[in-house]
Amino acid sequence: MVSFLFKYPCHDVDDPALLDEINKRLTLNLLIQGSASHNCLTAHHLVADELNAIDPKLLPMYDKTTIGMFTNMWRGEMVLIFGRPSRFWRRITKPNHPFHRHPLMARHGAELAQGTKRFVFDRAKRKRACRIPIIVSFHLVCMVYKLMYKERRHKWNLEQLAKKAVSDMFGIPIDRLYAELTPEVRFGGISKPKTALGQLLSATAVGYSGPIRFGDNFRVIAKAWAWPLLSHELIKGTTELICMHGINTLDDETYRKMMDVTDHIEYEHWHMMAGSELWRRLLAVIPDDQPLAETLMRIVRLGPKPFESLMFAVVEDPPWARELIASLE
């Protein structure tokens, strides 16, 4: 298989305090990718009336495109590139596995990934989306190009709707968001991947996003080929902006060492897979009367060990996790 040609970035960290920060950042990345993966499946329904006014064919096309983005992980070309998910998660305790020192993924990664598979395939069945092995990938590519053609005369309106959906979702002021439908998705100081897998993924990226500082404030910038990809990137960037509050007290050297270990494009596939289910479980224990963005900000500000304990509670003991979150100030 093609995946045998690729190796993941490998790092040895002996400093326990640094390892704690690394593990916290990896869990934050699970939440960032998980939020984008879960919410982009339904973001278009938040602006359904407006989308139907533009073109009533868009909504069902967005449903099938977003589902295809994730069924592709188990039935499409992603299996050829990354290998079988079951094998990846089964080998997580091996010393050469990129997440073998991450307690949450080592114990629950396979369980969370399986939860995402059930959720996506159930949605695919209800929406009558393609689930045929290999054909899934061809169908997804065709859908993206069809959308690019259909969206070309409505770009500005669709960009505004992407911002509106994400603003409503998180309660973030819409003027803090920038969205652009474009095939030229790269921006900012994107670091060059160090592995063959990373170089492949970077060269074929169809969307990018991230918080960018403008004066005293940050704005979330997202660029992508088509609306479902744009909403995914905008949600990811917004969640990342919130999660920055969990690492903004680190000194420059610790921050650099942590990011050098944790933030690799090669990891995003697996973070999406496990993080989507982790995000759903987190949403289930956040009290209904608490604003999502503010609550998430309080959670990520916890120290590495309390944060890790809370995430374990989200998976293993949801009632206790709900009490812990309700008590945060």
55, pLDDT greater than 60: yes
Distance CA 88, CA 73 (A): 12
What was the pLDDT predicted at 10?
59
Beta bridge partners of 214: 217
- Average pLDDT estimate for 56-77: 96
Distance CA 307, CA 97 (A): 23
Whose CA is closest to 272, among 25, 27, 32?
32
What was the pLDDT predicted at 1?
42
- Other Cβ atoms less than 10 A from the Cβ of 125: the count is 11
Distance CA 329, CA 322 (A): 14
Of 116-120, 144-148, 271-275, 289-293, least confident by mean pLDDT is: 289-293
Q: Which residue has the higher pLDDT, 6 or 31?
A: 31
Query: Residue type at 235?
Result: I
Whose CA is closest to 49, among 59, 34, 36?
59
Tokens of 222: 């997202």
- Integer-rounded Cα Rg, in Å, for the chain is 19
- Average pLDDT estimate for 253-274: 94
Whose CA is closest to 226, among 283, 305, 152?
152
CA atoms within 13 A on the CB side of 326: 11
Of 159-168, 189-198, 257-266, 295-304, least confident by mean pLDDT is: 189-198
